[in-house]
Amino acid sequence: MSLSAATLLSGLLLAVSGGLLLWNNPAFAAALRAFPRSKTAALVLFGAGAAWFLWLFWHAAEADRFSFHNLLFVILAATAVLSFRLVPDFLAVRGAAVLVLLAAAHLLD
């Protein structure tokens, strides 16, 4: 995807989300208020972000690997799984942030 297409797509997504906020639908407002603490959104967004990050970490170039690469992978995977149990507040927001950052890194490559 070119940088101009990525810019246009993100601008379109922001315009649509702004239009939904201006529409002032009570059901949409309630869903938006419940989003940060939603367990379903946390599972989908944080799970996808953690899986993508772990996939990138596991498939790192040979030059980026080190002697305890496997151990660090297990520690990172355990941290992602334990996040659901130990720090569930705003996990959906954190997952959305991880996905946005990983997508931005992919687009800038």
Q: Using a pLDDT cut of 90, give the percent of the chain over it.
A: 56
Q: What is the mean pLDDT of residues 30-37?
A: 90
Q: How far is CA 21 from CA 6, 11, 16, 26, 69, in A?
A: 23, 15, 9, 10, 44
- pTM confidence score: 0.82
Average of per-residue pLDDT values in the chain: 90
Residue 52 pLDDT greater than 90, yes or no: yes
pLDDT of 63: 82
Q: How far is CA 61 from CA 65, 86, 88, in A?
A: 7, 32, 33
